[in-house]
Amino acid sequence: MKVYYDRDADLSALKGKKIAVIGFGSQGHAHALNLRDSGMDVCVGLSASSPSRDKAKKQGLPVFDTAEAAKRADVIMMLVPDEMGSEIYAAEIAPHLTKGKYLAFGHGFNIHFKFIKPPADVNVFMIAPKGPGHLVRSEYTKGRGVPCLLAVQQDPSGDTTKVGLAYGSAIGGGRAAIIETSFKEETETDLFGEQSVLCGGLTELIRAGYETLVEAGYAPEMAYFECLHEVKLIVDLIYEGGISNMRYSISNTAEYGDMTRGKKVVGAASREAMKQILADIQSGKFANEWIADYKAGLPRFRQLRKEAAAHPVEEVGRKLRAFMPWLASDRLVDKSKN
């Protein structure tokens, strides 16, 4: 495994090149602003009807229709939702991909599963920050960075790794680490982590714990604090120094309970489920299922989102967070700006 830092990157590889960031969501706003603040010539590409156009303009960024941005750019970074990527690529990007341009991605989904197939004379690379875009931006403004993954899929010009490293450094990744990988490895591990641990596994664990306590007659507020609110306290300790660091900080009682009871919750059945989740990712079953739902108008996605929003833990959480107004200050996510 190769690991790079700012000292290994040459920002001159991007100097003189026009960069178009397609999209202005969580990752898009962070990439565009960090690139600009690193002295790069960057614009944002959005559809004419996108509500993000005003947000980008208020940040002082040049904004063009997606096709125009792609036409002007030497480096095109695709930071649109995965499910929309192939349609946007076919209609707005592909017609303006001339020989020697660089097509970049923040996630390998569409390249790995072949929903997007760039021409052979175009350079293709990925810079994937290992954190949400709002963290990519906030860490950059503090003089820090979020580690990034670098992968090169096509390199007809012979300098795509150099350009990718410069890009990763310009958004702050070189301050932490830029790790070399492949589109396949990034895509499959990223989807697995999201589904089995970081998002799917964690949210179901929280809700199951909350429901168990409430059904046993405990106050919903107590269940919320024990099964959701304190997750951040534990995760911060793990983030800072690993699982052993968290166990050093908690009580002996908590540590003993952790080590003797944790595997009863996440046991053999959970591990078998994880293996099946990984198999569905590797085979493309999940990707095809997700894109099919998108093309059908997202009926399953919308229903699942509606059901999740109606869970009692969400209502209890809103009430309790109102007693802690400091949680709303210095938020990573400000929907009016990013």
Question: Which SS3 state, helix, strand or coil, does residue 34 take?
Answer: helix
CA gap 113, 22 in Å, rounded? 20
Instruction: Name the β-bridge partners of 4.
Output: 178
- CA–CA distance from 304 to each of 206, 245, 298 (Å)? 17, 36, 10
Chain position carrying tokens 């303009």: 57
**Which H/E stretch holds residue 70?**
helix 66-72
DSSP annotation of 3: E
Tokens of 56: 């980008």
Whether the CA torsion 249, 252, 253, 258 is positive or negative: it is positive
Tokens of 324: 């802690």
Check if 31 is active-site: no
31, 107, 112, 134: the catalytic one is 107
CA gap 103, 155 in Å, rounded? 11
- CA–CA distance from 86 to each of 6, 116, 162 (Å)? 32, 6, 26
Tokens of 90: 């076919």
DSSP annotation of 331: -
CA gap 21, 127 in Å, rounded? 12
Instruction: Report residue 92: phi and psi, to 5°.
Output: -115, -25
CA gap 32, 117 in Å, rounded? 25
Active site residues: 107
